[in-house]
Amino acid sequence: MSSAATKLATAADATSTEAQTLVLDMRKALSSMKSLAVEYERAGKPDKVKQLEDAVQELVASYEDCAYLAEAVKKVPGAYQPSDQATDFRKLIDVEVEKVKGTSRSSGHKDQLIRQFKEAVWDVHHAGQPMPGDEQEELVMTSTQNNILNTVCPLTMKPIVDLENPVRCIDCRHIYDKDPILRYIRTNKAPNCPIAGCPAVLQPAKIVCDTFLRMEIEELRASGPAAPNASEIEDISDHDEDEDEDPMDEDDDE
């Protein structure tokens, strides 16, 4: 690999990592906004809930594009062709973004996140009841757990939330520990997915760690038994404050 190609690959990895970190931060922000909206709904403040819903719509609109960008940037070094002419990297990245969008199975993430927000608010006063419209249309499954098909690596039996290098098969969507699954593929002539009953034949090129996988694992980790719920967050933050104080209002004394 030439010096220029090496520098490009290094820059692409660094940029992609930064974008992935931003995506995770945005997902955490969405989770916090959902928890806050639940508290506002309990407190009978529908105007505040609506403000948060509008903010969620805006954040979600850019979050998925950022995830696509994180994936596309990693592919730029492979698509780059040295030339005597200056390379239009913006155009090159845009082309790779469109390719990622065309092959991604996570295109419904935006709708899922918005629905999760609305469901959380709805359940405050209507737990167990279908949301308006669900009676007439097929219920859309939206939780992160539905995107994660297995919660332990079938080779190491480690929980996926504990994996340092999780990867997922593009075809069957099962998740594995990176080094063990690649070693498994190398040592088997026809390496079927090690998940019992899965017919997929694994190929190294189709074993990847996409931005959405890390995001989904992070949310699964956050939803575990140790994760704080909205009421616990309120108890900590409002311990010494007046119970009627609005968490979004500014201190008038400042």
- In the chain, domain spans: 1-130, 143-234
pLDDT under 50: residue ranges of the chain: 136-145, 226-244, 247-248, 250-252, 254
- Under 8 Å between Cβ of 165 and 182: no
The span from the CA of 217 to the CA of 189, in Å, is 30
63 Cβ neighbours under 8 A, 6+ residues apart: 23, 26, 27, 30, 109, 110, 113
- Does the domain at 143-234 match CATH 3.30.40.10? Answer given as yes
Output the pLDDT for position 151: 93
pLDDT digits (tens, 9 = 90+) for 4-46: 778 888 888 888 888 888 888 888 898 899 999 999 999 999 9
Closest of 42, 224, 32 to residue 144, by C-alpha: 224
Beta strands 175-177 and 207-208: pairing type?
Answer: unpaired
